[in-house]
Structure 1
Amino acid sequence: MKVEDFSARPALGVALKITAIFLFTCMSAIIKSTSDEIPPGEQVFFRSLFAIPIILIWLAQRGQLKVGLKAKNPMGHVWRGLFGTTAMGLTFAGLGLLPLPEVTAIGFATPIFTVLLAAVMLGERIRLLRISAVAVGLVGVLIILWPRFGGAQMDQMATLGAMLILGATLMRSLVQVHLRQLVQNEHTAAIVFYFSATATVLSLLTLPFGWVIPTGQTALLLISAGLVGGVAQILVTSSYRFGSVSMLAPYDYTSMLFAIVLGYVIFGELPTIMMLAGAALVICAGVLVIWREHQLGMDRSKVRAVSDPKS
């Protein structure tokens, strides 16, 4: 089967994508469960390091180990790693301060911010429909964030968490814009591998800022986060072999359902009506952006294949 053959097995593409989103949400829950003990930089290290063996096995199985280790644009990978590692670190820090569904909802703003950054950095033209989608999405973000910044029951730590997740969302948008250029010359396998490699190295820069020796149980959780994240990344990348971006991208939003269930079962968290209302607006805006880009013939499949919700 050719990589470009999107229509042959769409059901498999959907199954792979939904499974990947579920695993990414599980990974977030695992990271959140270790937040009281482990600093974000150390969490990023475990998440990135233990994804590498999974990725290498996958590349070897597909016969892409050679291309996966070949970087035509090394600095492009360094910048992708810097942006993605920053986004991951901010997300992990925010997970320790906010409910899992709220973190997930704010993260849905990534396509909205990506449209704005692409217009500024790449000169992409934004017409009425996408401008309207951006406006609706920003209103949704404001509704989600209002209790943290202007509500009657503001909590300083929760406000900090909201700022961290908002910063992570902006950084992920920057990753998306950067990848639109990187995928033009770099193989997907190389982008997937070198992100984990650079994130592992960059996370070590936080070593002087309070790393701890985890307990046995916590170490197992951190290792499992890396393994689960690695498998999820492979499933995301593989899903776009069987379905187009316009068909698969909306399934990203199933993460809200998974986050609500895991947040309640594991952490006893329940989303508020205001948060759900804001999330609904952001989701509608994101789907509209994806649909409009498909109408305009903008194929984002390669970018989506090497992007994950935590990078």
Structure 2
Amino acid sequence: MRPLQGIALKVGSVLVFIVMSSLIKTTTADIPAGEAVFFRSFFALPVIVAWLAMRRELATGLQAHNPISHIWRGLMGTLAMGLGFAGLGFLPLPEVTAIGYASPLLVVVFAAMFLGEEVRLFRISAVALGLTGVMIVLSPRLTVVSGDVASQREALGAMLVLAGAFCSALAQVFVRKLVNTEKTAAIVFYFSLTSTVLSLTTLPFGWAMPNAWQFATLVLAGLLGGVGQILLTSSYRGTDASLIAPFDYASMIFALAIGYFVFAEVPTLTMLGGAGLVIFAGILIIWRERKLGLERSKGRKAMTPQG
């Protein structure tokens, strides 16, 4: 795959996921987060199954060599999705997006804790810088005790989104373990299946009957979720992950535009400054990983006997 094609697919996936979140946000006043997770997961399944069938990978997608790890990945991913959807009801879309950037930073920490990956001073410093940016974004919302009701709701939303970022990071750690035994098709399929089933456990806590407009919006969000997953997976085929990973942060541009023009959300300088710091830290980590990868590749080539 050409690098530009991989970048285009990555940016496309980012845009689709932001639009999906925007659709979910329009329903948060009436539809519980668990119900939104069900629609997002269930209606993504037909898209993913059709894609796997077209690629003749359906049989591969149904093979699970490590079902327990799929369940744990599904649990963490479903919690992350539900908490993020709940936070959309309390906070502006760009702010939710900025706090969500904590997830890849936390992956570095959790990978060291649970996978034994070596984390050197450069990455530790970059993670600390990024988490400082997250705290700057959060700082106006930390008024749980002293603030009014509206401020307390915003503080709750911030905590929900941050908790979702923690769960998302844990889910990515499970994915790193899964790729050792499972095909990508299986990871994609079983996450949607697991999250669909898990979302049904929220039924006793009260689901609302959506009206026709809300039903169509939620179904579209689910379909877009499936399309976004396909675009994301396809973007990494034949393209260096370190090349396209920075384009994750294009989501802030899309979130700012949609937040302003659709939801009349005007970003604060504090939020923009904190988000910029997080993005800078994330790109530093990606740049460092790419540099180390190139050095390791040169080392391997130097050790290869020349015939």
TM-score (norm 1): 0.91
Deviation at 1:88, TM superposition (A): 0.3
Deviation at 1:293, TM superposition (A): 2.2
> Secondary structure in 2 aligned to 1:270?
coil
Shift of residue 242, structure 1, vs aligned partner: 3.7
Structure 1: 5+ residue stretches without partners:
1-7, 299-311
| Aligned-residue offset at 1:178 | 1.2
Please state how far the C-alpha of 1:40 moved relative to its aligned partner: 0.3
2:85, 2:34 → 1: CA distance?
8
* Corresponding position of 2:38: 45
User: In the alignment, which of 219, 225, 231 is matched to residue 221 of structure 2?
Assistant: 225
2:169 to 167, 173, 176: 173
The offset of 1:210, in angstroms, is 0.8
Partner of 2:21: 28
Which residue does 1:106 correspond to in 2? 99
Aligned partner (choices 84, 89, 94) of residue 77 of structure 2: 84
| Distance across 2 between alignment mates of 1:150 and 1:31 | 26
Is it true that 1:282 corresponds to 2:278 in the alignment?
A: yes
1:142 to 115, 135, 147: 135
Residue 300 of structure 2 aligns with which residue?
Answer: none
Farther-moved stretch of structure 1 (124-133 vs 151-160): 151-160
What is the one-letter code of the residue matched to 2:26? S
Q: Residues 192-207 of structure 1: matches in 2 within 5 Å?
A: 192-207=188-203
RMSD: 1.4
Structure 2 residue matching 1:296: 3-state secondary structure: helix
List 4+ stretches of structure 1 deviating above 4 A. 150-154
Amino acid of the structure 1 residue aligned with 2:110: L
Q: Deviations over 1:289-309 (max 9, x none)?
A: 1222223339xxxxxxxxxxx
Give the distance between the partners of 2:115 and 2:188, measured in 1 at CA: 23
Q: Verify: 1:96 aligned to 2:89, yes or no.
A: yes
Question: Could you say which residue in structure 2 is the equivalent of 1:239?
Answer: 235
Cα distance in 2 for partners of 1:226, 1:150 equals 34
Q: Deviations over 1:56-79 (max 9, x none)?
A: 010000010100111111111111
Deviation at 1:208, TM superposition (A): 0.6
Q: Give the C-alpha shift of residue 213 in structure 1.
A: 1.0
Matched, 1:127 2:123: no
Aligned residues of 1:47 and 1:223 also touching (Cα < 8 A):
yes
Q: What is the alpha-carbon distance in structure 1 between the residues aligned to residue 46 and residue 207 of structure 2? A: 23
Asked if 1:293 is matched to 2:286, the reply is no
* Matching residue of 2:268: 272
SS of residue paired to 1:57? helix
Q: Deviations over 1:234-262 (max 9, x none)?
A: 00000111421111100000000000111
Q: Specify the code of the residue in structure 2 equivalent to 1:228.
A: L
Once the two structures are superposed, residues 121-173 of structure 1 have per-residue CA deviations (whole angstroms, 9 ceiling, x without a partner) of: 11222111101101111110110000001598660000000000000001111
The 8 Å contact of residues 147 and 153 in structure 1, kept in 2 or not, is answered as no
CA contact (8 A) 1:12 1:242 kept: no
Moved more, 188-197 or 173-182: 173-182
- 1:255 paired with 2:251, answer yes
Match 2:56 to one of 55, 63, 83: 63
Name the larger-Rg structure.
2
1: CA distance, partners of 2:192 / 2:3: 28
Quote the residue 1:163 is aligned against.
159
CA change 1:205–1:52 in 2 (3 A) is: same
Question: 2: distance between equivalents of 1:279 and 1:144?
Answer: 7
Partner of 1:309: none
The separation in 1 between residues aligned to 2:121 and 2:208, in whole angstroms, is: 51
**Once structures 1 and 2 are overlaid, which stretch shifts more, 235-244 or 48-57?**
235-244
Q: How many residue pairs are counted as aligned between the two chains?
A: 291
Aligned mates of 2:20, 2:5 — CA distance in 1? 22
- The answer to whether the 8 A contact 2:33-2:85 is kept is yes
SS in 1 for 2:91: coil
TM-score, structure 2 normalization: 0.92
